[in-house]
Amino acid sequence: MMRTVELPLWFFVLIVLFAAVTFASHFLFPSVRWFFRRRLERAVTRLNQRLTRPIEPFKLARRYDMIQRLIYDPEVSEAIAAHAQKEGVPENVAFEQARRYAREIVPSFSAFAYFSFGARAARWLANALYDVRTGVNNDSQLAKVSPDATVIFVMNHRSNMDYVLVTYLAAQASALSYAVGEWARVWPLSRLIKSMGAYFIRRRARGQLYRKVLARYVQMATQGGVTQAIFPEGGLTVNGKLMPLKMGLLSYVVEGFDADGRDVVFVPVAINYDRILEDRVLIAADKRGDRRFGARISVIMKFILHNIWQRVLRRDARFGMASVMFGQPLSLRQFGPDGPIERLADKLKTRIEDVMPVTFVPLLSHVMLNAPAPLSEAQMVQAVRDLLPRTRGAVPAIEEGDVASYVIRARALMAKRRVFLLSDDGWQMSEEERALAQYYANSLGVVEGAQVDAPLDAACAKS
C-alpha cells in the first residue's frame, strides 16, 4: 500500500484536472450558484418594489425547469404521440424533436441583462436616433389594468426599432417578453435576445407538434402572469399600412384562457416614425412580392453607429420624430373568450388605428403626393395645418407656432434623401422617389372632408 507509483507527467496532470472538475461540480459550483441566486432574488425583490407590474415567478424560473415542464405537459405528450403515429417514427424520436422545439422557444431571462443593460441601452439608442414622443396618457392606460391580470401589448410592426422603443418606454412598468422571428436566431444575437426574455417563433412552421409546443409555452406564460409583447401583423409592414392581424398567437392566448383564473388584458400599441431605417429594403420586398429582406445586420449596425458618431460630434443626425401610443385596454374576460377570434383581432386593429401617431414626414408626404403644382415652404406649412384635423390617430401635442418648425424639419429630412426637390417654382415631388413618399403617407388614416379632433389622451408628449 505504501509503494511508490510512477506516472507520466501528462497522466498525473490529467488526474488532477479530473479531480478539480469533480470537486467544482459537486461542491464548489452548487455553492456559488446558490450564493449568486440568493443575491439575484434580493435584487429582484428590490426591483419589483419600483415596477408597476412586478416580475412574476414564472419568468424567473430556471430555463431547464421550464423546458422539462413544457415537454412533459399532458397536451404536448398527446401531440408527441400523434406526431409519432402520423410520421411512423418511435415516440422517443418524436419526444426528442419536441425537446429541440422547447429548447429553441424557451428563453433564459436575466433581470440583470434586461434592466441593467437592455433597458438603458434601449433608452440611449432611441434618443440618439429619434426625438421620442409618448402618449401623455400612456401611464394612465396601464393604470386601468388590474394588477392581477396578465398584460399583453399588441403592436403594429414598422421597424426593428419597435423592440428598442417599447422596451425603453415600458421599462418602468415591467419586463416584456417578446415573440421574435427567425431573424434573431443568429449567434451571438440569439443569446442576448433570450437573456432579455424573448422567445423565438418559426413563422413558416406548419407542423402540429411545433405549434402545440409553442401554444403551450405561450399559454403557460400567460397563465403565469408574464407581461408579453406581440406583433400580430406577422412581420414588418412592407407598404406602410397597418396590415390585418394574424390569429396565431392571439388564438393560443384565447384557447388557453381560464375564466376562473387570471384575466388577460390586451393593450393596443401604435408606433410611427418620421424615418424608418429599413424603408428602402421593405419597399423593394413589396415590389418583388416577397418578404426576403436583403439587408445584412452588419450594414444596419454600420449605419446606426455612423449616426451615433454624428451625435457624439454634436451634429444632430436624428431622424425626426418616433412616437409610441397606448390605446384603450381590452379585457378578454369582458370581451368573452368564446367570441370569434376574428372579431377580437378587428377590435384590436381598430384601437391601434385610433391612436396611430401622426408624425410630420407622413403628413408632408401626403401633402406633396397630392399637390397639383410645386409648393413654397409657406404653402407646405399651411397644407399640413389643413390636413391635421382630417387625420385619424394621435396628433402631436405641440404649440400652434411649432407646426412650421416641424414641417421644415420634415422637409429637410426628405430633401436630404432627394424625395422632395427644389425648383424655381418651389418644392415638388421626385418621381423616382414617389414610392418612398407613398410608403410614409400610407401610415396615416386620412378622413377626407371631415373634421376629426384628436382626443386629448392621444396627444404626444416629449419623452
Higher pLDDT, 300 or 208: 208
Higher pLDDT, 300 or 372: 372
Range 411-432 average pLDDT: 93
Q: Check whether 74 has a pLDDT greater than 50.
A: yes
Q: Which of 7-16, 122-131, 322-331, 357-366 shows the lowest per-residue confidence on average (mean pLDDT)?
A: 7-16
Q: Check whether 43 has a pLDDT greater than 80.
A: no
- Count CB-CB contacts under 10 A for residue 439: 23
Q: Is 135 helix (H, G, I), strand (E, B) or coil?
A: strand
Range 176-193 average pLDDT: 65
pLDDT score for 453: 37
Q: Check whether 429 has a pLDDT greater than 70.
A: yes
pLDDT band at 434 (very low <50, low <70, confident <90, very high): very high
Higher pLDDT, 86 or 15: 86
Question: 3-state SS of 373-425?
Answer: CCECHHHHHHHHHHHHHHEECECECCCHHHHHHHHHHHHHHHHHCCCEEEECC
Q: Check whether 250 has a pLDDT greater than 70.
A: yes
Q: Check whether 306 has a pLDDT greater than 90.
A: no
- 103-354 matches 360-462 in fold: no
User: Contact 197/176 with Cβ under 8 angstroms?
Assistant: yes
Cα within 13 Å of Cα(123), Cβ side: 12
pLDDT score for 118: 78
Highest average pLDDT, of 280-289, 297-306, 365-374, comes from: 365-374
Q: Which of 129-138, 146-155, 296-305, 314-323 shows the lowest per-residue confidence on average (mean pLDDT)?
A: 296-305
The rounded distance, in Å, linking the Cα atoms of 41 and 404 is 52
User: Contact 243/237 with Cβ under 8 angstroms?
Assistant: yes
Range 267-275 average pLDDT: 94
Q: Check whether 454 has a pLDDT greater than 50.
A: no
Q: Check whether 377 has a pLDDT greater than 80.
A: yes
Q: Check whether 81 has a pLDDT greater than 90.
A: yes
pLDDT band at 190 (very low <50, low <70, confident <90, very high): low
Range 424-441 average pLDDT: 94
Q: Check whether 18 has a pLDDT greater than 90.
A: no
Q: Where are the domains of the chain?
A: 103-354, 360-462
Range 401-426 average pLDDT: 91
Mean per-residue pLDDT of the chain? 81
Tens digits of per-residue pLDDT, 386-396?
A: 998 888 888 77
Q: Which of 75-84, 398-407, 434-443 shows the lowest per-residue confidence on average (mean pLDDT)?
A: 398-407
Range 428-442 average pLDDT: 94
pLDDT band at 94 (very low <50, low <70, confident <90, very high): very high
pLDDT band at 337 (very low <50, low <70, confident <90, very high): confident
Percent of the chain with pLDDT over 90: 39
Q: Check whether 248 has a pLDDT greater than 70.
A: yes
pLDDT band at 304 (very low <50, low <70, confident <90, very high): low
Range 406-411 average pLDDT: 93
pLDDT score for 412: 93
pLDDT band at 288 (very low <50, low <70, confident <90, very high): confident
Please provide the CATH number assigned to the domain covering 103-354.
Answer: 3.40.1130
Cell of 319: 431622424
pLDDT band at 251 (very low <50, low <70, confident <90, very high): very high
Q: Check whether 458 has a pLDDT greater than 90.
A: no
Fold classification of 360-462 (topology level): Arc Repressor Mutant, subunit A (1.10.10)
Q: Check whether 32 has a pLDDT greater than 90.
A: no
User: Contact 98/215 with Cβ under 8 angstroms?
Assistant: no
The rounded distance, in Å, linking the Cα atoms of 326 and 356 is 9
pLDDT band at 121 (very low <50, low <70, confident <90, very high): confident
The rounded distance, in Å, linking the Cα atoms of 302 and 295 is 12
User: Contact 439/369 with Cβ under 8 angstroms?
Assistant: no
The gap between the terminal CA atoms of the chain, to the nearest Å, is 77
Range 246-265 average pLDDT: 90
Tens digits of per-residue pLDDT, 156-180?
A: 999 888 888 888 877 766 777 887 7
Range 379-400 average pLDDT: 85
Q: Check whether 362 has a pLDDT greater than 80.
A: yes
Return left, alpha or beta for 449; rule: phi > 0 is left, psi -120 to 50 is alpha, else beta. left
